[in-house]
Each structure stands twice: as C-alpha cells, then as structure tokens.
Amino acid sequence: MNSPQIPLLTPALTTRLPAVGTTVFTRMSALAVQHGAVNLGQGFPDFACEPKLVDMVTEAMKAGFNQYPLLAGAPVLRQAIVDKIAAIYGHQYDVNSEITVTSGATQALTTTILCCVHPGDEVIVIEPAYDSYLPAIELAGGVPVLVQMEVGADGYSVPWDKLTRAVTPKTRLIVVNTPHNPTGSVLRAADMQALADIVRGTNILILSDEVYEHMVYDGERHESMSRYPELAARSFVVSSFGKTYHVTGWKVGYVAAPAPLMVEFRKVHQYNVFTTNTPMQHGIASYMADPKPYLELPAFYQRKRDLFRDGLQGSRFELLPADGTYFQCVRYDAISSQSEAEFAEWLTSEIKVAAIPVSAFYRQGKESGIVRFCFAKKDETLALALERLARV
C-alpha cells in the first residue's frame, strides 16, 4: 500500500534584520571578477604575510597547541597584548581580567554591543560607518542615533557639537572608529578631549574600533582610548591581528576593557564563540616578541599610500586626505554626475578598477560624489590600477 505524499513545508521566518541584504562588498567583488577588474574595493591585502608568522603557527600546532584555550584566550597572547598597549599607549591592563582574545574584530564589536545594549537603549553611531555596527545594535534591540561626519577641503571630521546634541538620557553607548573606515581620517588629541567632555559625569560607554591602529601616517600618533585614563575607564577597545599582520582570513582580534565591563563581555563571548583558534594565538604571541612588524607598519603603508596618490595626481579625481587606514577616498565630480553606486559600477565594468561607493556606509545612502579605493595591494597591482585610472 502506497503512503500518501506529505507536502514539504519550510516555515516562514520573520527577519531580525529587514534592512540587510547582499553587501556592497560582495556585489562589487563579484562584478570585479566578472569584468576582470583590479579589485581595490574590499579592504584586504593581495600579498602574503611574513613567512615567519606562518612558521610560528605551524610550530605551535606541532607543539600540541590544538585543543581549546581558555575562554579569555591563551595567557601568553594576552600578556603580549598587555605589554604592547603599555609600551605604546602607557595604559596598564590586567592580563587576567581586562583582555579577551576574539575571533576577529567584528566578533569583538558585536559581542560588545550585545553585552551592554538593552532594548530601547540609544547608541550613537558616526556615519559613514563600518557596516557591522547597525545590524549588531538592532539585534540587541538598541536604537541607532546617527551623526554624520562633515567633509570639506580638509577631509572628514566629527561635528562634536552635533554629537553632543544627540546625547539623551537613553544614550548607552557611543561607537568611535579611528583610524576611520571608510574615510581614512583619524581623531586628534582635540577630538579625544571633546569626547571626554561629552561623556564626563554620565554612564555612557564607548566602543572604540581601532583595528587600523598601526596605520597612521606623516609622523602623527594614533590616539587610542587607552592613552586617556578618563576614556579608558569606560571603553571597550577593539583591535585586529588580521589587519596588523596581513592575515585577515585568520580572524583573530582582541578587546581591552576595565574588569567590570569585561565580566559582561565574557558572558556573551562564551556563548557565541567561546574562544578562538589555539595555534594561531600561540603563533601570534611568539611573533609579537619582536615589535618591529607593527612599529614599521606606518612606513610600509605610507609608501603605498604615496605611490597611489602620486599616480592620481594630475587626474580628474580629487584626492581627499588619507591620514590613516589603507583607504583613499576621492571625489569624482569632474568626471561624472552619476550616483556613487553607478560610478563605482562603471569604473569596475568599463575602466576595470573596482571601488566602493562611500554612500554604502550610510543608512540612508547619502550621496557625496565620493568613492573609496584600497591601497593594501602589491605595487604591481597598484601600478596596473593607476594605468587604467589614468584613462578616466
């Protein structure tokens, strides 16, 4: 006797992130592949890390570091992080209670937001903004409050007067990113003072995205929250070994925060990833014994920045300042009246160089006639891109 066919049914889901679709990075990278374009869109190097780092991870595997590490991360790596922060920024974090190794910086950012933002809490986000901030706030039930940077001949800057007016009794968190993706701007000492003035006497927390901390140029210093005791006392400071050591695919980062804040961070951390790749932690810790790779990183990327900027001098692109990160923003008003997305697609398909529209970093897609290039590429990659861009 034949059984009746039971119809298959996949229950419908109500999305937690109704505004989220395919990211602009995915679309532009796919378009770059389709048209054989030089991909200066997504922010990752096309060159290898130092072989010594791979050797140290391999040695850690062979030495048996292949099981779960502690929830907070391997003690040897946490100690290396503490020592680096103390040496560069003069702040002494406790190795046991104030440092947690994470599975990349994005996990650190999301975990921070989930641990401190409750439904109805307001979170101030400075736009243009890295694309993971808003979805994480929404997943936590928070309310994003958007403050747009101002852009002029001197590049992008934070309007602290507008940010001050955005603060309400419901403000729980301010998200800060320096050096800034996508604009390449950096916060200065005066900016840190302005931020301190805003939060002083409040219960507002700070999430400081500092993944490009070692990419600040022209002799300027990175203004970490860790430099300022008043700010460090209320801040989660996030960084990324992937960015620093040219291994973005390894997804290893960390967060530093005062012990009472870290207690809550680790409560969430233990249930979304628990911990992070063991041999990579030990390999990175061994590699950090020599500070030269991160101390020399500003000069390494400044040379690439200058090569790229020099190649665009005399073109119809208007170069905006690039004081940090490995991104260069340009105006294209003299070339086209297209929207940023349309222009980026035209560049990719016709000129065969992929860029990212800065409008993609605004919730409402603000148009400024600006696109972003990534110069974290081999010299020959940049030379090929510049040769093609010279035709524009």
List domains and CATH numbers for the chain: 24-49+298-389 (3.90.1150.10), 51-293 (3.40.640.10)
Contact 199, 171 (CB under 8 A): no
Q: How many residues does the chain have?
A: 392
CA angle 217, 26, 133 (to 5 degrees): 60
DSSP states of 300-315: HHHHHHHHHHHHHTTS
- In angstroms, the CA 223 to CA 234 distance is 16
pLDDT of residue 30: 93
From 26-40, 166-180, 319-333, the region with the lowest mean pLDDT: 26-40
pLDDT of residue 220: 97
pTM, entire model: 0.96
- SS3 of 30-58: the string is HHHHHHCCEECCCCCCCCCCCHHHHHHHH
| 179-188 pLDDT tens trace | 999 999 999 9
| 336-375 pLDDT tens trace | 999 999 999 999 999 999 999 999 999 999 999 999 999 9
| 317-331 pLDDT tens trace | 999 999 999 999 999
Q: Tokens for 29?
A: 């990278």
Contact 340, 41 (CB under 8 A): no
| 57-67 pLDDT tens trace | 999 999 999 99
